[in-house]
Chain A
Amino acid sequence: MKESSDAALAQPRPAAQRTGMRVWLNPGLWIAILVVLIAAAVPFITRNASTREVLFLMLMYVVLASSLNIIMGYTGYVSFGHVVFFGFGGYTGLYLMSAHSSSLWVAMAAGGLISGLLAFLIGKAILRLRGAYFALATIGINEAMRAFVANFTPYGAATGISLNFAVYQDYGGAATALWLAYGLVAGLALVSILLSFMIKTSKFGLSLQVIREDEDAAEVMGVTTPNAKTWAYVISAIIPGMVGALYFFKNGNIEPAEAFRLNASIETIVMVMLGGQGTVLGPVLGAAGYQRLRGFLITYPLFKDIQLSVAGALLLIIILFIPGGVVGWLRNRIPPLRRLLI
């Protein structure tokens, strides 16, 4: 966190006020957008369905990591159970599609909305906790939600919800629906990057970063910390809720263990750490890099069986030796980059 506090000091006023429109020319933002655009375009050019599936997951994790970064990287509250918003959004979406024949659009909107609402209610309660207690509470909420949904009959209890194949007819058949889902996840990835950037360069973002550095000082400086934290939490939950609905629409079914997978949550944290928490570009690079690495390990015979161990060993090395992640490391080593890689 050292280099981020340096960066905060170097910006006496929010960047947006200081430079007007020029802030939009930041190369860090455009690298992130470029990464997403290239990833989005590749399957459309090659028309290769398996590449599309791999990149769908990558773009999905770009969404999840960028969103998590708002509460974790900017505000300093590490949500260990962030997957709860993804899972609950997915469940809400699939429930609406299967029981009320809603369209995908309604399902995604509802997934985002309900996740935001959930975050508001949870946040009001648990954002009073600090440090490891907050992390434990988010784990508890995810597990409680998973266990509850596994008993909740409208959501299919332990077996979950399966979409009727006819649902896809409205989107030009199953094959076309998968391409549509892919386009949408790329769009959501772009939206989450832009959102992350807009927050980082706003006055609101600055108050979040002050909370991260010293919450008591932030309070003294006139930041209404409970409100700021709650809104950061809500914003970080909405797009994961939408992407949850989209992902499980693509899969056609949802079940509790898959929707509220705690390890997915921790992997998202790893991605944010890998790229560099508290930066716009970091989570995008982290998500892309981690997914590429996993793809490589799974296909490489020597590592196929122990891919989890290799990933774990790499994670350990990064935490021990490059705690700021790739972007944080670059910013530390090459000071001019601090302005360029936001």
Chain B
Amino acid sequence: MEFNLVKLLPFLIDGLLIGFVYGIAAMGMTLIWGVMKVINLAHGAIISLGSFGVYLLFVSALQLHPYISILLVAAGGLVFGMLTYFIAIHRVINAPYLSTLLATFAVNMIIIGLGTAQFSTTPRAVDFTLGSFRVGGMTLLGTRLFAAGAAVAVTAALYLFLFRTNPGKYIRAVANNRAAAELMGIPSSRILALSFGLGTMLAAISGGLIATFFPFTILSGATYQLKSFVIGVLGGLGNPLGALLGGLILGALEGIIPAYMNTSWVPVVEFVMFVLILLLMPRGLLGAKK
């Protein structure tokens, strides 16, 4: 067993580092759900757009450093999300949930269609490395360490924003009770747009981080979107910290499972777990937002 543990540790740590990035993507999904009860089916497309943003700035004449690009991509994601909210979601925000699901799916189709026409589906990769570090016989990639650190920083920033600023307070108020928040004079439409923008921003950031260590296409975001669902439900839908915890658990599973069985079994385990959690503990690990 001890031998196994030593052998497993590198896989586990590798998985955990990627899990942080999954966590960021899922945090965006779960934030949007928590505030406005919308499941964003365009989440994966936006993750892909985030990857492409970093890639395009990197290969352009500017040759921008990927980590500077991520800041620009994050700002772009925020604006894009707010625009998406006003164009596609605002009109149906009070309609049955199917309408918002399909509205975001329509946005997804538009992005994927244009993206496929523009970039084709040939995998791209950002040719960038931070070298690697050797810690006690393990090799850790610099880009992944940085991504994990960035994910922690983003989470901290999100919580500071939600709990220490007025717009953050408004977001929490709207999430708790939109009607009451409106009565208190909170401009709920703008707050909903801001929340959707923040969720989209998180997706774009995760896409940008993914681009620094995995190849990607315009379609690859769909995988991360499905992972976000699993993670969101695992941590408790609407709970951002739960999303980070869920991301770590999923990352750890993805690291460990291949040591015992074929990698292709990983999604089976993930989705069976997903359905079981929905059935047996729909509030997730840290409690879902009602």
Contact = CB atoms under 8 A, between A and B. Distances in A.
A73 B59 CA distance: 49
A262 to B, nearest CB: 8
A143 B233 CA distance: 15
A78 B41 CA distance: 15
B61 interface: no
B113 interface: yes
B271 A126 contact: no
Interface stretch (A15-23, A101-109, A203-211, A313-321): A313-321
Given A309-B113, A309-B114, A266 B105 contact: yes
Contact of B278 (A133, A305, A311): A133
A132 B111 CA distance: 23
B99 A311 contact: no
A166 interface: no
B110 A137 contact: no
A137 B275 contact: yes
A139 interface: yes
13 contacts: A78-B98, A129-B279, A136-B274, A139-B229, A140-B230, A144-B275, A262-B222, A308-B112, A309-B109, A313-B110, A319-B103, A320-B92, A323-B95
Interface string B83-120: 00000100110011111011101111111111011000
Chain B binding site: helix, strand, loop or mixed by DSSP? helix
B265 interface: yes
A181 interface: no
A143 B106 contact: no
B165 interface: no
Contacts of B108: 312
Interface in A112-161: 125-126, 128-129, 131-133, 135-137, 139-141, 143-144, 146-148, 150-151, 158
Given A78-B98, A313-B106, A316-B106, A136 B113 contact: no
A34 interface: no
Interface in A298-342: 305-313, 315-316, 319-320, 323
B287 interface: no
B145 interface: no
Contacts, number: 129
A311 B109 contact: yes
A313 B222 CA distance: 19
A284 B96 CA distance: 23
B106 to A, nearest CB: 4
Contacts of A193: none
A260 to B, nearest CB: 11
Interface string A253-280: 0000000001000100110010000000
Contacts of B105: 266, 270, 312, 315
Contacts of A323: 92, 95, 99
A1 interface: yes
Contacts of A136: 39, 229, 233, 274, 278
A126 B264 contact: no
A319 B113 contact: no
Contact of B102 (A131, A141, A270): A270
B262 interface: yes
Nearest to A313: B110
A132 B101 contact: yes
A133 B230 CA distance: 12
Given A126-B279, A136-B278, A140-B278, A319 B106 contact: yes
Nearest to A305: B117
Contacts of A273: 98, 102
B101 A315 contact: no
Nearest to A310: B113
Contact of B262 (A126, A144, A151, A311): A151
